[in-house]
Amino acid sequence: MEFTRKQYMQKLINKKDNGRVKIITGIRRCGKSYLLFELFTRYLQEIGITDEQMIQLALDEFPNAKYRNPIELDKYVRDRIIDKTKKYYVMIDEIQFVSEIQNPYLEDKKAKLGFIDVVLGLMKMKNVDVYVTGSNSKMLSTDMLTQFRDRGDEIRIYPLSFAEFLETYRGKARNAWLDYYSYGGMPYVTRLEGHEEKSRYLKDLFQRTYIKDVLERHNIQNDMMVLDNLLDIVASSIGSLTNPAKLSNTFLSEKKLRISSTTIARYLSYFEDAFLISKAIRYDVKGKKYMQTPVKYYYTDLGLRNAKLGFRQQEETHIMENVLYNELIRRAYDVDVGLVEQHSKAKDGKKIRKQLEVDFVVNRGEQRYYIQSAISIENPEKRKQEIASLVRIPDSFGKIVVVRDYIKPWKDENGILYLGLEQFLLDEEAIKL
């Protein structure tokens, strides 16, 4: 059983030997190492690259702890680049494990050495092509790419999409969606049998990997309970508008804990950096402006979200919305939460101002779509409610309602396209119908 990860493999192949470092990012255990050390390595072998030309190192493995020192890491790699006439492919997994140390050759205590110095040095070697993976977005996506001054390409890896999940699905077809939204797309989960095994793996992964990483990286000593509760609250409210102040009030009213909104905002940013959650900002469609608060948070993997809640809250409405968000992000769209203001008058003549929600405002280049997520629209009143915001958007971009039911795609008198969920998830061109 093997996932081909075609989307990411093609990106790696296209960027091979382009003179830039390839930075493969994503939540831990989503398949970055497998992509690089198995799939891409196999491709290199097939085109004639020898094992000696591939220098591979996984820094999250204990036997390689020595190479978390940037000087030792640099020496390890350079000692293996022995033939200037051959091309070498350097692959370093989980590079954020490299510590920043004082430069031992300088007296200035502010002079530091880190993984960026190692990678920059390797990039200057004409016969070296560099690939690194990492699980911290702030360190890799921001700091690293800034240091490289447009000499790095980020390739973001996600847990399995529904289409990838189906590649090796062994159960009955009618159960695929239920299994996917229950246990998510972490590749290893698909090898496990039964709820107990899958649940235990996901819960252990959360506590022993993700929470542990956040605590260690940010040197958090006494707030593990706060982090744990915060992730529970976010998991319970996916698809709902919130902000740090609201979450602070929730802690006070429900947990009897006084946590400042500033602290909560900082902790949320840690979870985003670790790729556990993503934030969608509100966009005023008619006013054409962003509103920084409130926002929506979505879990990168629904299995992790469900495991965090002990599989107690399985509201398909919110889960479906989260899956759609993740799929749109995976397709390299910019995704916002939309709002459309509606103005009317009451019987007494007073003005009524109402904000209607658009689940997703989706952009990629010149493309734009407005997308609503709905379990069903069989009831005329329900359909009218779902499209209320879409019919009030004064432009000609595509307007789509994705429904849980299996339906034949059709358009109504307003030009709104109705798609079944599975068709949307399995056919990336479906929204262009």
Does CATH number 1.10.10 belong to domain 162-330? yes
CA distances (Å), 333 to each of 273, 327, 358, 364, 367, in order?
A: 19, 9, 16, 5, 9
Query: What average pLDDT does range 45-69 have in this prediction?
Result: 97
Arithmetic mean of pLDDT, 313-328: 93
Is the bond preceding residue 70 a cis peptide, omega within 30 degrees?
no
For 14-49, the pLDDT digits (tens) are 999 999 999 999 999 999 999 999 999 999 999 999
**Residue 433 — very low, low, confident or very high, per pLDDT cuts 50/70/90?**
confident
Judged by average pLDDT, the poorest of 277-291, 334-348, 400-414 is: 334-348
What is the per-residue pLDDT for 404?
Answer: 94
129-138, 139-148, 259-268, 321-330: least confidently modelled range: 139-148
CA–CA distance, 160 with 86 (Å, rounded to integer): 35
> pLDDT at residue 142 above 60?
no
- Both structure tokens of 237: 């409210």
Q: Which strand (E) or helix (H) includes residue 122?
A: helix 115-123
The average pLDDT across 398-404 equals 97
Whether residue 249 contacts residue 331, with contact meaning beta carbons closer than 8 Å, is answered with: no
How does residue 146 score in pLDDT terms, banded at 50, 70 and 90?
low
Q: What is the pLDDT of residue 88?
A: 98
φ, ψ at 87 (rounded to 5°): -90, 135
Alpha-carbon distances, residue 209 vs 35, 101, 240 (angstroms): 20, 24, 27
Amino acid in the structure at residue 16: K
Distances (CA, A) of 171 to 178, 323, 406: 11, 20, 19
pLDDT at position 350? 77
**Mean pLDDT, to the nearest integer, of 76-83?**
97
Q: CA 397 from chain center: how many Å?
A: 26
CA–CA separation, 314 and 322 (whole Å): 12
Report the DSSP beta bridge partners of residue 114.
none
Give, for 231, the enclosing helix (H) or strand (E): helix 224-236
Pairing, β 398-403 against β 367-374: parallel
Task: Give the number of other Cβ atoms within 10 Å of residue 334's Cβ.
Answer: 14
Instruction: Say what the pLDDT of residue 147 is.
Output: 67
Contact 180, 162 (CB under 8 A): yes
Give Dmax (Cα) for the chain: 86
Whether the CB-CB separation of 359 and 321 falls below 8 Å is answered with yes
| For residue 154, pLDDT beyond 80 | yes
Task: Determine contact, residues 235/308, Cβ cutoff 8 Å.
Answer: yes
d(CA 387, CA 380): 11
Residue 171 has pLDDT above 90, yes or no: no
pLDDT band at 279 (very low <50, low <70, confident <90, very high): very high
Band of pLDDT at residue 235, cut at 50, 70 and 90: very high
CATH fold for domain 6-156:
Rossmann fold (3.40.50)
CA 73/CA 95 separation, integer angstroms: 10
Q: What whole-number distance in Å separates Cα of residue 118 and Cα of residue 109?
A: 19
CA distance 335 to 329: 7
Positive or negative, the Cα torsion across 269, 272, 273, 276?
A: positive
Span 132-136, mean pLDDT?
87
Residue 155's DSSP bridge partners are 24
Q: How confident is the model at residue 149 (pLDDT cuts 50, 70, 90)?
A: low
- CB-CB neighbours of 29 under 10 Å: 21
Tell me the average pLDDT across 274-290.
94
Q: State the pLDDT confidence band at 292, using cuts at 50, 70 and 90.
A: confident
Locate the domains of the chain by residue range: 6-156, 162-330, 334-432
Q: What is the mean pLDDT of residues 63-88?
A: 97
Share of the chain above pLDDT 70, in %: 96
Instruction: Report which of residues 351 and 336 the model is more confident about.
Output: 336
Nearest to 303 by CA among 170, 201, 175: 201
Q: How many distinct helices (H) and strands (E) make up the chain?
A: 18, 15
pLDDT of residue 42: 97
- Asked whether the predicted pLDDT for residue 140 surpasses 60, the reply is no
Q: Please compute the mean of the pLDDT values over residues 346-357 and round it to a whole number.
A: 80
Q: Which fold has domain 334-432?
A: Trna Endonuclease; Chain: A, domain 1 (3.40.1350)
**CB-based contacts of 344, cutoff 8 Å, min separation 6:** 351, 352, 354
Mean pLDDT across 150-173: 91
pLDDT of residue 36: 97
Q: Where does residue 390 rank: exposed (0-12), middle (13-18), buried (19+ CB within 10 A)?
A: buried
Model confidence pLDDT, tens digit, residues 98-112: 999 999 999 998 899
pTM above 0.75, yes or no: yes
**What mean pLDDT is predicted for residues 375-391?**
93
Mean pLDDT of the chain: 92
User: In the prediction, which pLDDT does 152 show?
Assistant: 85
Q: Is residue 134 pLDDT above 90, yes or no?
A: no
Residue 352 has pLDDT above 70, yes or no: yes
